[in-house]
Structure 1
Amino acid sequence: MYFSYGENMTRLQEYSKYHNDINLHIKTQGYSDGERLDIDLETHNKIINIQCKIHNNKATITNVFNT
């Protein structure tokens, strides 16, 4: 799992001051294409519930903190 930013999805190496353009990338093993993944992301002030579908053992959620 890792975060990126921008349209080019540049991988974040350190902390980001901004949160409105952050993408979440998930790499999996053993999931079938189309299988749903339920994710709970906890920040300092809220919990974000996200669902995504796996394709080629990967899922990308764009603008993850704007949901």
Structure 2
Amino acid sequence: ERLQEDSRHSSDVNLHIKTQGYNNGEEVEVRLESSNNQVLIVRGIIQDNQAVITNIFKDT
């Protein structure tokens, strides 16, 4: 869901991914593209049908 205004925590963002059909330890890759065509690819490891990628904008 899109935020209606700028977040005061825009550099400390975590991505939570819920999955089905993946095994624990499998890697998922997510491609994020901004409205100005910047692309960020992040990866996470599945544990209990989910992956949490912390601080996804830390190095951008």
Note whether the superposition's TM-score is higher than 0.5.
yes
Residue in 2 that maps onto 1:52: 44
What RMSD, in angstroms, separates the aligned Cα atoms of the two structures? 2.0
Between 1 and 2, higher relative CO (CA 8 Å, sep ≥ 6) is seen in 2
Which protein is richer in strand relative to its size?
1
Percent identity for Structure 1 against Structure 2: 39
Q: Point out the structure with max Rg over C-alpha.
A: 2
Q: Give aligned pairs, total.
A: 56
Which ranges of structure 1 fall in alignment gaps of 5 or more residues? 3-12
Whole-angstrom CA distance in 2 between matches of 1:28 and 1:58: 6
Output one character per residue of 1:8-64: Cα deviation in whole Å (capped at 9) or x when no partner: xxxxx8444341011110000010000010111111331001111100001111111
- TM-score, normalisation: structure 2: 0.76
- TM-score, normalisation: structure 1: 0.69
Which protein is richer in helix relative to its size?
1
| Residue identity opposite 1:29 in structure 2 | Q
Which ranges of structure 2 fall in alignment gaps of 5 or more residues? none
